[in-house]
Amino acid sequence: MTKRTSLKLTDERQRKLDRASAIVAEDEYDDPPMSVVIDAALTHLVESEQNIDDARGEFDPETIQEIANTSVIGLRYRTAVENKWR
């Protein structure tokens, strides 16, 4: 990962941030800072990977794949978590 000094907010990225902000907000009047929303999203991604790994001994691979596949986390049957983002 390269470090960048700015974050370009495209319309799509702003919509995602707004939606994520609503999820992170304590109530309808809370407006969390972008850093809190980004930290929550990153934490969720890391914890999701751990939850998937933990579930492997408890659930069959097809169930895990069916539930956990997203546009960011992709699972190949009986292998590893792979990043589908790029």
Structural domain for 50, as ranges: 12-21+34-83
Per-residue pLDDT reduced to its tens digit, 2-51: 777 787 889 999 999 999 999 999 999 999 999 999 999 999 988 888 88
Q: Is residue 2 part of a domain?
A: no
Q: Is residue 44 part of a domain?
A: yes
* Total structural domains within the chain: 1
Q: Is residue 29 part of a domain?
A: no
The pTM (predicted TM-score) of the whole model is 0.71
Q: Is residue 74 part of a domain?
A: yes
Per-residue pLDDT reduced to its tens digit, 49-79: 888 888 888 888 778 878 887 767 766 655 5
Q: Is residue 66 part of a domain?
A: yes
Q: Is residue 7 part of a domain?
A: no
Q: Is residue 26 part of a domain?
A: no
- Residue 78: φ, ψ to 5°: 60, 30
